[in-house]
Chains A and B, each alone.
Chain A
Amino acid sequence: MALTESEILAGLAEIVAEETGLPAEQVTPEASFADDLDIDSLSMMTIMTYAEEKFEVRIPDEDATSLSTVQDAVDFIAKAQA
């Protein structure tokens, strides 16, 4: 069964927290990966690879680089799950 948006957000926040060491609460929908969470392209690759595994979806590299906010990623994963 597909996860809800808030479940995806919580799961993604866990992955981001693990990679960056930031508290999961800081991973809000409006947060920008690059500007607010200080995530560079290599960390983004790592996060998206773990997200692929966790949510059982495929996130192509070119799509991963176009996801600028946490909400963008949640939307992408929700759509990919559907």
Chain B
Amino acid sequence: MTTLKVTQPVTYSRVLGVGGVRGERVVTNDDIAGPINSSDEWIRQRTGIVTRRRAAEDTSLLDMCEGAGRAAIAASGVDPADIDVVILGTITYLEQTPAAAAIVAARLGLNPAAAYDISAACAGYCYGIGQADALVRAGTARNVLVIGAERMSDVIDPTDRTISFILGDGAGAAVVGASETPGIGPTVWGTDGDQAHLITQTHSWLTFRDGSDTSWPTLRQEGPAVFKWASFTLAPAARKAIEDAGLTPEDVDVFIPHQANMRIIDQMVKTIGLRDDVVVARDIAETGNTSAASIPLATERLLREGQAHGGQVALQIGFGAGLAYAAQVFVLPNQNNTQETKTWH
């Protein structure tokens, strides 16, 4: 009888390096308050956002992915030739096919890496890290580049008071590879499609094409319901990610939630029961909500500014449209990038 040879699993994986780029334009609350009849004070009080970063007109989603990917690869020290897979979480690559990940892989010189996009909105990056962890440990890939990237400014309505005013553009990335010690805990993830209506596109592209609604489809959310879901309902998933990693909330040094809203972040710290001195990522204040990009961007900032350092235990949790969520505990990588990455190529 013929016996198949299969991939040889490796025991552990870890995040080897993180990088990111933010949109070049700094957009203040005053810049956008007019069309929503709001104010700097109201936006700060409701969301904790002071500015959001948005891409220059000639900067594409692919450009930002390339910049983030390059920064993450450099931070990881991995030879690009050893990256076998590129996973890109995004909901704002507005070309149906081919996948953005394939083009990004080519731009980064990673051919013939397998490359594909995933659509899990603000949970996209954590979905990607969960897949990368599994691919590396199964021996299917030596190293995986995971990117979360959005050009949310392409799907906003300046007069929308539900979500548009919080959104920003950027891309964050991480390289996941084999490790001699445990570096990524089990991913706790899921969806609740019964609540898909809470964060959604106003209407489909088919409606747009058929002419029954010729306005550009944009995003909407039911803010208070999303706030309640994220702040309270997700805590058990976050706690399970900690427990499945063999830890307790007390063991978490750094908390890196999706940067949705500062009020959600503050409430999650309490609801999950994290330590009083836990380092909490608050990149949202300056960058805004960049959906799939927000967690790697927040991670990149914590490490770059020295608020967190390699070897610390971090909990990350992404959550958003779907409703989709994913959480995992991971060990922060050692890296020395003290400058914010500002170039795409």
CB distance from B166 to the nearest CB of A (A): 13
Please tell me if the beta carbons of A41 and B223 are within 8 angstroms of each other in the complex: yes
CB distance from A46 to the nearest CB of B (A): 6
Please tell me if the beta carbons of B224 and A41 are within 8 angstroms of each other in the complex: yes
| Chain B residue at smallest Cβ distance from A41 | B224
B228 within 8 A of A: yes
Please tell me if the beta carbons of A61 and B224 are within 8 angstroms of each other in the complex: yes
Q: How far is the CA of A41 from the CA of B223 in the complex (A)?
A: 9
Q: How far is the CA of A61 from the CA of B198 in the complex (A)?
A: 12
Partner of A46, one of B45, B225, B231: B231
Binary A-proximity of B211-250 (CB < 8 A = 1, otherwise 0): 0000000000001110110011000000000000000000
Q: How far is the CA of A41 from the CA of B46 in the complex (A)?
A: 9
Please tell me if the beta carbons of A45 and B46 are within 8 angstroms of each other in the complex: no
Instruction: Say what secondary structure dominates the interface of chain A.
Output: helix
Q: Which of A31-51 contact B (CB under 8 A)?
A: 40-42, 44-46, 49
Query: By the criterion of a CB under 8 Å from any partner CB, how many residues of chain A are at the interface?
Result: 9
Q: What A residues does B45 contact at CB under 8 A?
A: 40
Q: What A residues does B232 contact at CB under 8 A?
A: 49
Q: Which of B248-278 contact A (CB under 8 A)?
A: 263, 267
Please tell me if the beta carbons of B223 and A61 are within 8 angstroms of each other in the complex: no
| Chain B residue at smallest Cβ distance from A44 | B224
Please tell me if the beta carbons of A42 and B225 are within 8 angstroms of each other in the complex: no
| Chain B residue at smallest Cβ distance from A62 | B225
Q: What A residues does B231 contact at CB under 8 A?
A: 45-46, 49
Q: What A residues does B225 contact at CB under 8 A?
A: 45, 61
Q: What A residues does B228 contact at CB under 8 A?
A: 45-46, 49, 61
Partner of B267, one of A40, A46, A61, A65: A46
Interface core residue of A41, A42, A65 (most chain B CB under 10 Å): A42
Q: What A residues does B267 contact at CB under 8 A?
A: 46
Binary A-proximity of B162-183 (CB < 8 A = 1, otherwise 0): 0000000000000000000000
| Chain A residue at smallest Cβ distance from B261 | A42
Q: How far is the CA of A61 from the CA of B224 in the complex (A)?
A: 8
Q: How far is the CA of A15 from the CA of B46 in the complex (A)?
A: 20
Q: How far is the CA of A47 from the CA of B273 in the complex (A)?
A: 18
| Chain B residue at smallest Cβ distance from A61 | B225
Q: Which of A53-82 contact B (CB under 8 A)?
A: 61, 65
CB distance from A20 to the nearest CB of B (A): 13
| Chain A residue at smallest Cβ distance from B225 | A61
Partner of B46, one of A40, A46, A61, A65: A40
Binary B-proximity of A14-34 (CB < 8 A = 1, otherwise 0): 000000000000000000000
Q: How far is the CA of A26 from the CA of B216 in the complex (A)?
A: 47
Q: What B residues does A44 contact at CB under 8 A?
A: 224
| Chain B residue at smallest Cβ distance from A52 | B232
Q: What A residues does B223 contact at CB under 8 A?
A: 41-42
Of the A-B pairs whose beta carbons lie under 8 Å apart in the complex, a sample of 7, sorted by A's number, is: A40-B45, A41-B223, A41-B224, A42-B227, A45-B225, A46-B231, A49-B232
Closest 10 CB pairs of A and B: A45-B228, A41-B224, A45-B224, A42-B227, A49-B232, A42-B263, A61-B225, A45-B227, A49-B228, A42-B224
Given contacts A45-B224, A45-B227, A49-B228, 18 further A-B contacts (CB under 8 A): A40-B45, A40-B46, A41-B223, A41-B224, A42-B223, A42-B224, A42-B227, A44-B224, A45-B225, A45-B228, A46-B231, A46-B267, A49-B231, A49-B232, A61-B224, A61-B225, A61-B228, A65-B224
